[in-house]
Amino acid sequence: MKSILLINGNDPKALLNSTLYGADAVAYDLHEAVSANDKDAARLLLQEALAFFDFGDSGVFVRVNPMSEGGDKDIAVAGKGKPQAFILPCADAQSLPQADAAVSALEAANGFAAGSIKLIPTVESVAAVENIGALLASCPRIMAVIFNAENFLKDLGVAETGDASQILYARSKVALACRAAGIPAIDRPWKDLKNRDGFEADARNGKALGFSGKLAVSGGQVPSINEIFA
Amino acid sequence: MKNILGRDIPDYIEGYGQVRPFKGAYASIDPRTRTTITRRSVRPGNKLEPGEAKLLASIEEAVEKTGLRDGMTVSFHHHLRNGDYVTNMVMKVIAEKGIKDIHVAATGIFACHEPLVEYIKSGVITGMSVNYISPGPVAKAITKGLLPKPAVFRSHGGRPRAVEAGDLHVDVAFIAAPCCDNYGNINGTHGKSACGVLSYIYPDAQYADHVVAVTDNLVPYPACPIEITQDFVDYVVTVDSIGDPNGIVSGTTKVTSDPIGLKIAAAAAELIDETGYIKEGMSCQTGAGGTSLAVAAEIKKRMQAKGVVGSFGAGGITAYFVEMLNEGLFRALFDVQDFDLVSVASAGSNPKHMAMSGSLYGNPHNCGPVVNNLDIMILGATEIDTDFNVNVITGSDGTIMGASGGHNDTAAGSKISIVVTNLLKGRLCVLRDKVTTVTSPGETIDALVTDRGIAINPRRTDLLEKLKDSRLPIMDISKLKEIGDKLAGKPDSIEFTDKIVGVVEYRDGTVIDVVRQPK
């Protein structure tokens, strides 16, 4: 899995076009892209959309809210559309089992095969990076891991300088742990859409460190990611 | 009666006349007789009688000198696009003089021409013919049936054909002249209101009964270079300003950054490459929209990779095509209008950047227009049907929002004509069982490239053979329509009254369709 494209889960037009960019998987976002007042509507929209659209060969994921902020509702409601996996933000030793339990409940309630829906934890805290080996071993549903550098640096208490050496250790540790566990590691998103050269250099850097792919925040990033991680 | 495309068209249309039905894109190429005209003679300068000088004091004087009266046809051109002042200035004088029942034969109408709506309502303007019309107040007024006679929609090649044949007789042509001398020599590329080539008005200069140059830049004789020569110009009028050159800039003249547009463009270029059209001496034309220019960008990459030099780029010219010319990717440009100020500057300075008249561009009834030499044509569409007929005139609610421009000229002339579009526009699928209005007949459209698949016209068995092993997502056009309909649903049919508000002439002067007033 090289490219996962993040799509606003509350934007019907974006949902409609989401599979046109050639990403290996699309991830419909209920977390950062959707305002607090719109979460309920977005969950229902996504439930309908997942059941209606033909996604072809594309993987279909839902990025839920953190478990402490409504992630369980996201899993219960949007999950009725049966995505292949949920992306769990702020994953740690506490939230990962909660998400696992919520997904088990979803599967049982809707007649989905046990274990058929996977989890993709996002590692974005110092503790999660430091304990990533244990985290990966704790849950058999994990099909990939995403590294979020922006929040990691916030948790580390340092300002982002734009210098990739700031996150070299964390990135390397995530990539190594995932490789050891046989789980694909997906590198950080690049949000500065105007800095195309920086984005491509960062993708190559991630590939050199052992990541399998990269999270795309725009359809325009997908072709480069697919090419660089091919 | 129904024409060959099954469009329901009366034999006779009030305000238009007897209908010659469309019989096929190449059905009327027989020899044609051109009209004759009567033009005034001008005595030598030192033999002029009082009042015979070409240079007049005002538009009002020009209206008087040309004998403009009720029931006449006046013509204008649209190279100043949405920055044009001349059309409104002249029509204001005509209205103030109490002249009625005027036919406005404009090559293009834009939002800036909103004052014409009042002249339509007051009976000053009773008929119009256009090659291009942008969505806006005049288009809405025509749609609402405010014009007593149906508007006539022609193509960029069809209009000069009509002028030369006498089908469209122009009594007085008003030329917005960015650079002009006192004896009527004109160019469009110099002066504060430079707008580029003035190609669409050349036939009017040659065939109108009277020709008036309206300029805001009177230069010493002779104007240099000369684009329209003095022997065609009766009078010259100076005004403070003929327009705003910034208004000539089209809405989008840059390569799109939209990833889906880029995907469509890449697929179109791949299709062109796989069918063998990217080769030494190739010629190419695209629209000025972002996706069309993205196709040009993809073609450029492939030309560079193959070391190919094209013969010419054509049509409305953008900075992107100027760049390709300057980089040696084309040997020349054939230009009918300039979409941006870079193109204007190039048209005025580079001898390889050549003006072509509308007739040279697309008139089917001459010894061969440039579209006949065109290899690749990239087109847009508002709607396209499963017979590949294209509509660029009416929108999803039946409102007039465009006109052929060069669409049906280039589709007919080019070796491969490709429509590029998103399959879904807004909430609707562009593919229909039958388009609302036919602009270009399906027999001239070779391929449809969308974000969700590609359809090849089954008439082009040669293309299908070349593409049989292609990895492109090629499918039957009905299958593509199914995909669109599944996502967007089938829209309700538009209901129309019986009133015909527009007559759509194919480039050869036959009637390919009519526009009825939506309910």
Structure tokens at B98: 């109490």
Backbone angles phi, psi at B72, to 5 degrees: -85, 170
Give the three-state DSSP class for A85: strand
Specify the pLDDT at position B30: 81
Alpha helices, H only, A58-195: 71-78, 95-110, 126-130, 132-137, 149-156, 168-181
Backbone angles phi, psi at B384, to 5 degrees: -145, 140
For residues A61 and B331, what is the distance between their CA atoms, to the nearest angstrom?
Answer: 51
For residues B78 and B93, what is the distance between their CA atoms, to the nearest angstrom?
Answer: 19
- Nearest CA to B231 among B186, B276, B175, B172? B186
Element holding A27 (H helix, E strand): strand A25-29
The answer to whether B487 faces chain A, any CB pair under 8 Å, is yes
Contact B91, B104 (CB under 8 A): yes
Give the three-state DSSP class for B82: helix
Dihedral over alpha carbons B153, B156, B160, B166 (to 10 degrees)? -10
Query: Residue B263 and residue A16: Cβ atoms within 8 Å?
Result: no
Structure tokens at B355: 């003006």
For residues B186 and B414, what is the distance between their CA atoms, to the nearest angstrom?
Answer: 32
Q: What type of residue sits at position B329?
A: L
Identify the residue among B255, B256, B263 best suited for mutation to test binding to A, counting A beta carbons within 10 A and taking the highest: B263
Residue B258 distance to chain A (closest CA, Å): 7
Query: Residue B424 and residue A16: Cβ atoms within 8 Å?
Result: yes
- Nearest CA to A142 among A119, A122, A123? A119
For residues B123 and B126, what is the distance between their CA atoms, to the nearest angstrom?
Answer: 6
Place of tokens 């050349």: B202
Identify the residue among A5, A7, A16, A17 best suited for mutation to test binding to B, counting B beta carbons within 10 A and taking the highest: A17
Q: Bridge-partner residues for B104, per DSSP?
A: B74, B128
Backbone angles phi, psi at B294, to 5 degrees: -65, -35
Query: Residue A219 and residue B259: Cβ atoms within 8 Å?
Result: yes
- Nearest CA to A68 among A48, A94, A41? A94
Structure tokens at B321: 């095509």
From residue B115, alpha-carbon distances to B125, B359, B456, B514 in Å are 11, 30, 44, 26
Q: Bridge-partner residues for B243, per DSSP?
A: B84
Sorted by where each starts, the structural domains of chain B and their CATH numbers stand as: 56-248 (3.40.1080.10), 259-494 (3.40.1080.10)
Specify the pLDDT at position B368: 95
Backbone angles phi, psi at A26, to 5 degrees: -110, 140
The answer to whether B262 faces chain A, any CB pair under 8 Å, is yes
Structure tokens at B256: 């799109």
pLDDT tens string, chain B, 519 residues long: the values are 889 999 999 999 999 999 999 999 999 878 888 999 888 889 898 888 877 889 999 999 999 999 999 999 999 999 999 999 999 999 999 999 999 999 999 999 999 999 999 999 999 999 999 999 999 999 999 999 999 999 999 999 999 999 999 999 999 999 999 999 999 999 999 999 999 999 999 999 999 999 999 999 999 999 999 999 999 999 999 999 999 877 877 555 688 889 999 999 999 999 999 999 999 999 999 988 889 999 999 999 999 999 999 999 999 999 999 999 999 999 999 999 999 989 999 999 999 999 999 999 999 999 999 999 999 999 999 999 999 999 999 998 999 999 999 999 999 999 999 999 999 987 899 999 999 999 999 999 999 999 999 999 999 999 999 999 999 999 999 999 999 999 888 888 899 999 999 999 999 999 999 999 999
**B48 Cβ neighbours under 8 A, 6+ residues apart:** none
The answer to whether B32 faces chain A, any CB pair under 8 Å, is no
Q: How many CB pairs under 8 A join A and B?
A: 22
For residues B467 and B474, what is the distance between their CA atoms, to the nearest angstrom?
Answer: 9
Query: Residue A220 and residue B257: Cβ atoms within 8 Å?
Result: yes
- Nearest CA to B212 among B241, B186, B244, B193? B186
Give the three-state DSSP class for B277: coil
Helix axes A71-78, A95-110, angle to 10 degrees: 20
Query: Residue B263 and residue A21: Cβ atoms within 8 Å?
Result: yes
* Among the partner residues B257, B262, B487, nearest to A16 by beta-carbon distance: B487
Dihedral over alpha carbons B330, B334, B336, B342 (to 10 degrees)? 40
Query: Residue A17 and residue B451: Cβ atoms within 8 Å?
Result: yes
Query: Residue A21 and residue B260: Cβ atoms within 8 Å?
Result: yes
- Nearest CA to B287 among B156, B428, B398? B156
User: Side-chain half-sphere of B277: how many Cα atoms within 13 Å?
Assistant: 26
Q: Bridge-partner residues for A7, per DSSP?
A: A28
From residue B162, alpha-carbon distances to B20, B32, B153, B251, B363 in Å are 13, 11, 11, 29, 9
Structure tokens at A85: 């996996």
The answer to whether B452 faces chain A, any CB pair under 8 Å, is yes
From residue B491, alpha-carbon distances to B243, B270, B417, B477, B487 in Å are 41, 32, 27, 18, 12
Chain B hits for A225, CB-CB cut-off 8 Å, are: none
For residues B264 and B261, what is the distance between their CA atoms, to the nearest angstrom?
Answer: 5
B101: left (phi over 0), alpha (psi -120 to 50) or beta: left
Q: Can you list the positions of beta strands (E) in B229-300? A: 235-238, 283-285
- Nearest CA to B355 among B338, B333, B335, B379? B335
Query: Residue B451 and residue A20: Cβ atoms within 8 Å?
Result: yes
Structure tokens at B70: 């009720």
Q: What type of residue sits at position B454?
A: I
Give the three-state DSSP class for A114: coil
Q: What type of residue sits at position B357?
A: S
Q: Bridge-partner residues for B76, per DSSP?
A: B106
What does DSSP assign to residue A69?
G
- Nearest CA to A82 among A58, A133, A116, A54? A116
Q: Using alpha carbons only, what angle is made at residue A16 by residues A13 and A17, rounded to the nearest 5 degrees? A: 90
B9: left (phi over 0), alpha (psi -120 to 50) or beta: beta
For residues A57 and A210, what is the distance between their CA atoms, to the nearest angstrom?
Answer: 25
Strands A185-187 and A145-147: parallel
CB atoms within 10 A of CB A61: 26
Place of tokens 């109108």: B208
Parts of chain A with a pLDDT under 50: none
Q: What type of residue sits at position B118?
A: E
